[in-house]
Amino acid sequence: MLTERGQVRKMAIKVYKRNTAGRRNMSVVKSDTVTNKKPEKSLVEGQSRKAGRSGGKISVRHQGGGHKQKYRIVDFHQEKIGIPGRISAIEKDPNRSAFIALVVYADGEKGYVLASDGMRTGETIIAGPDAPVKNGNRTMVKNIPTGTVISNIELFPGHGGQIVRSAGSGAMLTAVDEKNAQVKLPSGEIRMISNTCYATVGQMSNFEHSAVTIGKAGRSRWMNKRPTVRGSAMNPVDHPHGGGEGRQGIGLKHPKTPWGKPALGKKTRKKAKYSNKFIIKRRTKRK
């Protein structure tokens, strides 16, 4: 696959040999851009696990366990305006799907930022209204040419990157006028934002993330995920879909949650939501 610079980008998916049942078809991301180093000590902090509990009782199902993690403090604002920074490392972050980049600024300060696709160790990036339109740089939307792929976008000026932050995601800047800009999001939704909002030029890193195969149940448990049981496999006392002789589908029943609320397609968005006026075209429906 070719990058914007014409370089050949290798798929970074490693598929394990079928030595055991758990290894069969199991795969991980092995990117040649990721640096093998420990996280920057001054930019990490501990985090306690809630595990979906409130007062010791389950409030969110299917959460619990998981490997111990530290939180990386990521600068979504990139407030070092006009100060160039050199990328000293590209690292994996267990708290998000995209890679993060350790940036050493010209004044000696260090910070983590979300890494865009094609970002390499040793490159220089800069954030500011006059920043050149280059992969990894961050600038105001009004200074970016239409048709450019952007990510880590502010919804409101000064709020920091809020949308298009997951692995491999990218939005397209479709139009810019005197006050606002139109952005086509990965979902297909076209949304209006202020043209003074900041965005990062380029697509998010780790686009292979969606192609990874978990391989075994234990690996899900490492990621704080507990097993999910289908409602149709339960008894009637446990779930509205339960019961019946043999295997029974939902049938004529309307899909329900375990507590009898409508599910699977029930619209939950408020009709008078404040952001309705910013949405020009609703997201495309998935089949």
| Mean pLDDT confidence for 68-85 | 89
pLDDT digits (tens, 9 = 90+) for 94-139: 999 999 999 998 888 899 999 998 888 888 998 888 888 889 899 9
The pLDDT of residue 7 is above 60:
no
Distance CA 250, CA 256 (A): 9
pLDDT of the residue at 272: 92
pLDDT of the residue at 130: 85
pLDDT of the residue at 201: 92
| Mean pLDDT confidence for 182-207 | 91
CA distances from 23 to 94, 221, 222, 223 (A): 21, 16, 15, 17
The pLDDT of residue 30 is above 80:
yes
pLDDT of the residue at 251: 67
Residue listed under structure tokens 């799907």: 97
- Domains, the chain, ordered by start: 13-210 (2.40.50.140)
pLDDT of the residue at 4: 47
CA distances from 36 to 32, 39, 82, 94 (A): 10, 10, 29, 14
The pLDDT of residue 2 is above 50:
no
> Residue 100 burial (CB < 10 Å; 0-12/13-18/19+)?
buried
Residue listed under structure tokens 């979902």: 187
Reference 82, options 132, 38, 21, 33; nearest CA is 132
Task: Give me the percent of the chain exceeding a pLDDT of 90.
Answer: 39
pLDDT of the residue at 1: 47
Reference 117, options 144, 98, 130; nearest CA is 98
Letter for the amino acid at 112?
Y
Confidence tier at 37 by pLDDT (50, 70, 90): confident
pLDDT of the residue at 11: 56
Mean pLDDT of the chain: 87
The pLDDT of residue 10 is above 70:
no
- Whole-model pTM: value is 0.84
Confidence tier at 6 by pLDDT (50, 70, 90): very low
Radius of gyration, CA atoms only, the chain? 22
pLDDT digits (tens, 9 = 90+) for 232-259: 889 999 998 888 888 887 766 689 999 9
